[in-house]
C-alpha cells in the first residue's frame, strides 16, 4: 500500500497501522525526509518516496514507476494536504491555487494513474482523506474547504468509471484530530471535543478505518465520517476559533 503525506501526522498513523498489520508500506513525503526515514526504519516492510504534489505530472510519473515494480499494489491512500487560512470574505489566490492542486487536483491524477497501472491480486482500494467540513462547512479555511469538496466529488465519479467491479473507491472524512494551524495545546484540548460525543477522535481511529476499508467490501463510492459526530453539528466557525471565544 502507499500513503501520501505518510511521514507525519495522520499519514504516519496510517502507515504504522498498515505496517503492524503486515502490509508493505510505501511512505510518500514532500520535504519531511528525516521523519520519513525514521518511520521507514520502524516498520518491518517499508520504503520511502519523495514527490512535490504541487507538480501533478511528477506525481503521475511516481505512480507509474511504482506500478512497474510493485506486483501486488492493492491500496492507495491520498492523505497529504495543506491547510492554510483564507476566508469566505477574502479568498487568497495563491492559497487557492496551491490548495486546489495539492488537495484535489494531484490526488485525482494519482487516483487515475493508480487505477490505470497498479496490478493487484483481488480488488484494489483507493481511499481519499477528505474532511467533516463536507457536511459541516463554515467560512474559515475557504480554499481548503473548497478543495475537500472537489476531492470528495471524485469519489462517486471514479467509482462509476472504474473498469473492474472488484475495485473500490472510498472516502474517509475526519473531524478535528491533531493540533492545526497556530493552535495551542489548551485550545486543541477544547476544540477537539466540540462534537456530539464530547470526545477526541484519534489518528488511530482514522488508521483503523482505513484498514477496515482496505480489507472489507463496503460498497464503492462511500465516505465514512470519523469525527465523533462533529459533522452533525452546525458550527459557524472552525473549531480552532470557537475554542478561543
Do residues 3 and 14 make contact, with C-beta atoms less than 8 angstroms apart?
A: yes
Instruction: Quote the pLDDT of residue 27.
Output: 98
- Report the alpha-carbon distance of residue 189 to residue 223 in Å, rounded: 26
- Report the alpha-carbon distance of residue 177 to residue 160 in Å, rounded: 31
- Per CATH, the architecture of 2-242 is what? 3-Layer(aba) Sandwich (3.40)
- Report the alpha-carbon distance of residue 238 to residue 86 in Å, rounded: 12
- Report the alpha-carbon distance of residue 41 to residue 64 in Å, rounded: 25
Pure H helices in 73-217: 93-100, 106-117, 142-161, 185-191, 203-215
Instruction: Quote the pLDDT of residue 36.
Output: 98
> What grid cell was written down for 28?
510518500
Phi-psi domain of 14 (left: phi exceeds 0; alpha: psi -120 through 50; beta: other): alpha
- Report the alpha-carbon distance of residue 37 to residue 28 in Å, rounded: 11
Reading across the β-sheet that carries 168-174, which strands appear in turn? Answer: 46-50, 25-29, 2-3, 75-78, 125-129, 168-174, 223-226
- Report the alpha-carbon distance of residue 186 to residue 243 in Å, rounded: 9
> Residue-wise pLDDT tens for the chain (245 aa)?
999 999 999 999 999 999 999 999 999 999 999 999 999 999 999 999 999 999 999 999 999 999 999 999 999 999 999 999 999 999 999 999 999 999 999 999 999 999 999 999 889 999 999 999 999 999 999 999 999 999 999 999 999 999 999 999 999 999 999 887 778 888 889 999 999 999 999 999 999 999 999 998 899 999 999 999 999 999 999 998 998 87
Question: CB-side exposure of 84: number of CA atoms within 13 Å?
Answer: 15
What are 169's strand-pairing partners?
A: 126
Q: Tell which residue, 22, 73, 80, has the closest CA to residue 55.
A: 80
Instruction: Quote the pLDDT of residue 210.
Output: 98
Residues 6+ apart with CB under 8 A from 148: 103, 104, 130, 131, 133, 134
Cell 470528495 maps to which residue?
152
Instruction: Quote the pLDDT of residue 174.
Output: 98
Amino acid at each position: 500500500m502507499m500513503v501520501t503525506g505518510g511521514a507525519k501526522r495522520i499519514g504516519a498513523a496510517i502507515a504504522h497501522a498498515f505496517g503492524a498489520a503486515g502490509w508493505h508500506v510505501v511512505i510518500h513525503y514532500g520535504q519531511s525526509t528525516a521523519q520519513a526515514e525514521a518511520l521507514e526504519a520502524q516498520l518491518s516492510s517499508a520504503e520511502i518516496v519523495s514527490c512535490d504534489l504541487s507538480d501533478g505530472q511528477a506525481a503521475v510519473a511516481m505512480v507509474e514507476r511504482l506500478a512497474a515494480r510493485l506486483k501486488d499494489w492493492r491500496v492507495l491512500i491520498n492523505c497529504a494536504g495543506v491547510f492554510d487560512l483564507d476566508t469566505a470574505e477574502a479568498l487568497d489566490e495563491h492559497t487557492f491555487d496551491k490548495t486546489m492542486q495539492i488537495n484535489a487536483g494531484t490526488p485525482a491524477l494519482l487516483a487515475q494513474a493508480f487505477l490505470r497501472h497498479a496490478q493487484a491480486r483481488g480488488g484494489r482500494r483507493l481511499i481519499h482523506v477528505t474532511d467533516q467540513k463536507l457536511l459541516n462547512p463554515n467560512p474559515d479555511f475557504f480554499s481548503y474547504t473548497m478543495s475537500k469538496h472537489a476531492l470528495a466529488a471524485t469519489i462517486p465519479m471514479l467509482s462509476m468509471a472504474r473498469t473492474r467491479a472488484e475495485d473500490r473507491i472510498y472516502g474517509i472524512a475526519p473531524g478535528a484530530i491533531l493540533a492545526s494551524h497556530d493552535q495551542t495545546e489548551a485550545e486543541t484540548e477544547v476544540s477537539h471535543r466540540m462534537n456530539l460525543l464530547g470526545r477526541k477522535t484519534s489518528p488511530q481511529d482514522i488508521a483503523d478505518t482505513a484498514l477496515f476499508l482496505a480489507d472489507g467490501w463496503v460498497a464503492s463510492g462511500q465516505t465514512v465520517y470519523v469525527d465523533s459526530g462533529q459533522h452533525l453539528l452546525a458550527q459557524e466557525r472552525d473549531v480552532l476559533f470557537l475554542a478561543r471565544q
